Amino acid sequence: MDTLDDQQAQEPVTQVTPSGSVPVAEPPVARDVPLAPSHNEVRPSHSRSEFFDTTPGSRTAPPSLSVTEARTYSAFAGLRAEWTALVRRTDDQLFYRHEFIDAWLTHFASDSRFRVLTARDAGGRLRAVLPLLERRTWCAGAPVRQLISPTNSHSCRFDMLAEDAPAAGTAFLRHLESDREWDLLQLQDVPHGGRAWSLYRAAEERGLPVGTWKSMDSPYLLLPGSLPELHARWSKNLRAGLRRRRKRLDELGPVTVERVSGGAQLDAVLSEGFAIERSGWKGERGTAISQDPATLGFYTRLARDAADAGHLSLYMLRSAGRAIAFDFAFAYQGRYLTLKPAYDEAFQQYSPGQLLTAAALEDGVSSGLTECDLLGENMPCKAVWADRLRPHSWLFVFRDTRFGRALCSAKFRWLPAARRMVTRWVPMR
């Protein structure tokens, strides 16, 4: 069983924020965060007016919300139409849609106990949703009863869906406070400004032990309206390198780029793409998609669902007919979302991954897309293209009990202090 500390140990640079030092939630609008290297910092407290319009009359009184839970798959499945409508009214991102959560639950948590919190107004209209899983795990060396978001390395990002985030966050928190069957609420990879921050802030304001951990800065770029503008953004070295490598690749035979959005060839293209991914370092480490039945089933279902919905966008680069680079991606709500790029390392000298990315960006601009979200952690191969970052964090809320406060102190104060002491002591030996 993985522990919370083991999960975070995989990230070499961590950031923890003590209670009271995280910005309050803001509306989930598109944010332009300049590209900058990750670093440790403790953020100061922010006033409420920085994120909410606090002028008189700017907000109506929060509606009265009643909270219930869907604890069976049939109950969860029955929410699909309302869930879809709520996503469209709030933050229509692929990762928050009912079918995405359904695919994730089916392939990664089929044997887990899940609790989907729903908030409705007096008229019975669905106003907010927060899907959670029940798990037994370890935190700071102690066994804990955890409520966790349905997330892992394949879910990209997570958030609470809510029309009125502060009202929903307060309603969900009060509902959870009345339930004594959990010790820790953990929401993973919530974007800065996401609605789930409202639940975190509500917990903080009520005096519950809380903490955060910065999980990643996800790179992205805004796409211009024309190809000349796109090319002008690329550095002189990048443009020259792309031309040089493409010329060398042309010498091996015809070079083609395919975009597949579905059809009879879908399964064959997926098989080719997953084989490319497995041929490299991921295959050696055993982390390739095709090496795990659950992961393979998840991405296959995502591709088929996206093809049916009309937003699948798989790209394949071929040299003399041989597939040498692949991008498992979607074109959704004006965004190009690249989930799983891969290339044949036998062709590494030609930079096939970069050549395919350039072609996909050009196609996106020609198709009228306005953003490319490279997702996941920021890496040099992504920084070549991206000029902006979206910070994501894990949010921790502990029950307001002696045990909960001790867990919070151990995780965010005592253990980090012990690690710092060990780090200082070891080099001196």
Domain residue limits, the chain: 4-217+391-428, 224-369
Provide the pLDDT for residue 425: 65
Provide the pLDDT for residue 226: 97
Structural tokens at position 421: 């002491």
Provide the pLDDT for residue 228: 97
Contact indicator for 165, 195 with CB cutoff of 8 Å: yes
As a whole number of angstroms, the longest Cα–Cα distance in the chain is: 69
Helix (H/G/I), strand (E/B), else coil: 71:
coil
d(CA 20, CA 141): 25
Same fold for the domain at 4-217+391-428 and the one at 224-369?
yes
Confidence band (pLDDT; 50, 70, 90) for 41?
A: very low
Q: Average the pLDDT over 333-338 and give the result.
A: 97
d(CA 13, CA 64): 41
Contact indicator for 136, 92 with CB cutoff of 8 Å: no
Q: Comparing C-alpha atoms, which of 166, 218, 215 is closest to residue 188?
A: 215
pLDDT of 10 > 50? The answer is: no
Q: For 225-273, what is each residue's pLDDT tens digit?
A: 999 999 999 999 999 999 999 999 999 999 999 999 999 999 999 999 9
Give the global pTM. 0.83
d(CA 277, CA 270): 11
pLDDT of 34 > 50? The answer is: no
DSSP 131-142: EEEEEEEEETTE
Provide the pLDDT for residue 428: 52
Q: Long-range contacts: 376-385, Cβ < 8 Å, 24+?
A: 376/156, 376/216, 376/218, 377/216, 377/217, 377/218, 378/38, 378/216, 378/217, 378/218, 378/219, 381/353, 381/354, 382/219, 383/35, 383/219, 384/238, 384/354, 385/219, 385/221, 385/357, 385/361
Q: Comparing C-alpha atoms, which of 296, 380, 287, 364 is closest to residue 330?
A: 364
Provide the pLDDT for residue 6: 47
Beta strand pairing call for 314-319 and 255-260: antiparallel
3-state helix, strand, coil in the chain (%, to 5): 40, 25, 35
CA angle 171, 173, 179 (to 5 degrees): 110
Share of the chain above pLDDT 90, in %: 78
Helix (H/G/I), strand (E/B), else coil: 372:
strand
Q: Comparing C-alpha atoms, which of 352, 357, 359 is closest to residue 375?
A: 357
**Phi/psi at 4 (5° precision):** -65, -35
Rg of the chain's alpha carbons, rounded to an integer?
23
User: Which residue is it, tokens 């502060």?
Assistant: 166
Q: For 288-314, what is each residue's pLDDT tens digit?
A: 999 999 999 999 999 999 999 999 999
H or E, element range at 293? helix 293-309
Confidence band (pLDDT; 50, 70, 90) for 426?
A: low
d(CA 170, CA 61): 13
Q: For 51-87, what is each residue's pLDDT tens digit?
A: 333 333 334 445 689 999 999 999 999 999 999 999 9
d(CA 213, CA 15): 5
Helix (H/G/I), strand (E/B), else coil: 258:
strand
Select the more confidently predicted residue: 25 or 202: 202
Provide the pLDDT for residue 238: 96
CA angle 336, 341, 342 (to 5 degrees): 160
Instruction: Return the DSSP state at 34.
Output: B
CA angle 386, 9, 146 (to 5 degrees): 105
CATH code at 4-217+391-428:
3.40.630.30
Q: CATH homologous superfamily of domain 224-369?
A: Gcn5-related N-acetyltransferase (GNAT) (3.40.630.30)
Provide the pLDDT for residue 62: 52
Provide the pLDDT for residue 139: 84
User: Which residue is it, tokens 């869906």?
Assistant: 161
Select the more confidently predicted residue: 416 or 165: 165
Q: For 164-216, what is each residue's pLDDT tens digit?
A: 999 999 999 999 999 999 999 999 999 999 999 999 999 999 999 999 999 99
H or E, element range at 166? helix 165-177
Helix (H/G/I), strand (E/B), else coil: 365:
helix
Contacts of residue 363, defined as CB under 8 A and 6 or more positions apart, other chains included, come to: 257, 259, 315
